[in-house]
Amino acid sequence: MAAVPQHEVVMEPSPYAMDKKKFGMWVFIISDACTFGAFLFAYGYMRVGAPVWGTPFGMSSIVNGMVMTAVLLSSSLTMLAAVRAAQTSTKAKTTKWLGITMLLGAIFAALHLREWIKLIGEGWRLFQNPTGGAAQFGACFFSVTGLHLTHVVSGVIALAFVARGLNQGRYDESHVETVGLYWHFVDLVWMFVFPLMYLMNAH
Amino acid sequence: MSTNHELAMSSYVGIGVGLMAIVCIEVVLTFQHLPARTLLFSLLCLAGLEGFVAIMYLMQVKYEKPILFWTVFPATLFVLVFLCYLWPDAFRMFNMRLMQ
């Protein structure tokens, strides 16, 4: 009886030549970019359509926003250091950089919440404008910045999971690289949110 | 997979400083009291420049295969532009209710 031929499983290599986790993260980033795009376009049309719009941000808020930007940019650099450490160095060093990134993310979230508390203290609500202008300002501002803040907090939690998994030997450098890609995206979104939501509404 | 070693860490710090400098330019422009449309256009251009640098260097697309860039970004930009094109119709819907 003739032997049954053994077939090898032939897998075509990915044309992107990248890890599937990372490719999955790219797909998520594309869809998330469209979500933020939709929010920002909706805000843009409402802002243009309203005859009187709220401009609640003075110099102190803008300086606060610049500090937040600097913190988030620094966290992107520490994330790059974490990815590099994961590829070339020890777990301890990678965990250290991931820890610093988480700390910077937490500082960003705290500064963001401080700005929110200040605005709420001044009477701004989701559908309430204390200056008498368009009531939609609060809805736009709290929605867009809240969505971004949710991403930052989610990113900090994801970084903590990856750091823990890395130390337990369950995760490797590809996980660090994938979560790093997400973190840079959060930074990228802020580069559009800050000028559009803060600077366009400065008095 | 990206090689991630094309630039030294000091170069990335330089990129971070450059991005922060662009943010400072945005703030300076804001307090020049430009007309809203001019300010919006300027801020969007600068934010776009920041975004491009962040995608290429921080997200390391520069070191991936070019096919990633050419399949992901034109399609995403098309969707975003199309969103912008379609949004005004959302306002038109208010005038499309059936009269009682």
SS3 for B43-58, per residue? HHHHHHHHHHHHHHHH
List, as one string, the DSSP characters of A100-119: HHHHHHHHHHHHHHHHHHHH
Cβ pair A20, B62 in contact under 8 A:
no
Quick one: pLDDT band at residue B1, thresholds 50, 70, 90? very low
Three-class SS of residue A125?
strand
Give the model confidence (pLDDT) of B24-46 as tens digits: 999 999 999 888 889 989 999 99
Q: Look at residue A6 and tell me if it is in a domain.
A: no
What is the domain extent for residue A134? 23-49+66-201
A80, A111, A137, A140, A150 from A118: Cα distances, Å: 33, 11, 15, 17, 19
A184/B59 CB distance under 8 A:
yes
Q: Look at residue A171 and tell me if it is in a domain.
A: yes
Look up residue A184 and give its two tokens: 């840079």
Q: Look at residue B2 and tell me if it is in a domain.
A: no
Q: How many domains does chain A have?
A: 1
pLDDT at residue B100 is higher than 60: no
**Nearest CA-CA distance, residue B2 and chain A, Å:** 8
B43/A15 CB distance under 8 A:
no
Q: Look at residue B20 and tell me if it is in a domain.
A: yes
Q: Look at residue B32 and tell me if it is in a domain.
A: yes
Q: What is d(CA A138, CA A124) in angstroms, rounded to the nearest whole number?
A: 6
- B31 contact residues in A (CB cutoff 8 A): 202
Q: Look at residue A54 and tell me if it is in a domain.
A: no
- Residue A106: predicted pLDDT: 98
Tell me the pLDDT of chain A averaged across its residues. 91
Quick one: pLDDT band at residue B91, thresholds 50, 70, 90? low
Whether the CB of A144 is below 8 Å from some CB of chain B: the reply is no
Q: What is d(CA A1, CA A75) in angstroms, rounded to the nearest whole number?
A: 66
Q: Look at residue A18 and tell me if it is in a domain.
A: no
B83/A73 CB distance under 8 A:
no
Q: Look at residue B3 and tell me if it is in a domain.
A: no
Give the model confidence (pLDDT) of A167-187 as tens digits: 999 999 999 999 999 999 999
| CATH value at residue A194 | 1.20.120.80
Quick one: pLDDT band at residue A4, thresholds 50, 70, 90? low
Q: Which residues contact B60 (CB under 8 A, 6 or more apart)?
A: B2, B4
Whether the CB of A70 is below 8 Å from some CB of chain B: the reply is yes
- Which residue's entry shows tokens 């032997």? A3
Whether the CB of B7 is below 8 Å from some CB of chain A: the reply is no
Three-class SS of residue A128?
strand
What is the domain extent for residue B42? 9-96
- A40 contact residues in B (CB cutoff 8 A): none
Cβ pair A112, A4 in contact under 8 A:
no
Tell which residue, B19, B77, B41, has the closest CA to residue A196.
B41
Distance of CA A165 to the CA centre of its chain: 21
Q: DSSP secondary-structure letter at B61?
A: G
Give the model confidence (pLDDT) of A13-29 as tens digits: 778 888 889 999 999 99
Give the model confidence (pLDDT) of A33-45 as tens digits: 999 999 998 888 8
ipTM value: 0.88
Q: Look at residue A92 and tell me if it is in a domain.
A: yes
- A26 contact residues in B (CB cutoff 8 A): 68, 72
CB neighbours of residue A123 within 10 Å: 12
Q: Look at residue A14 and tell me if it is in a domain.
A: no
Q: Look at residue B4 and tell me if it is in a domain.
A: no
What residue of A is the nearest CA neighbor of B13? A77
Q: What is the pTM of this model?
A: 0.90
Q: How many domains does chain B have?
A: 1
Residue A124 — left, alpha, or beta (φ > 0 → left; ψ -120 to 50 → alpha)?
beta
Cβ pair A64, A115 in contact under 8 A:
yes
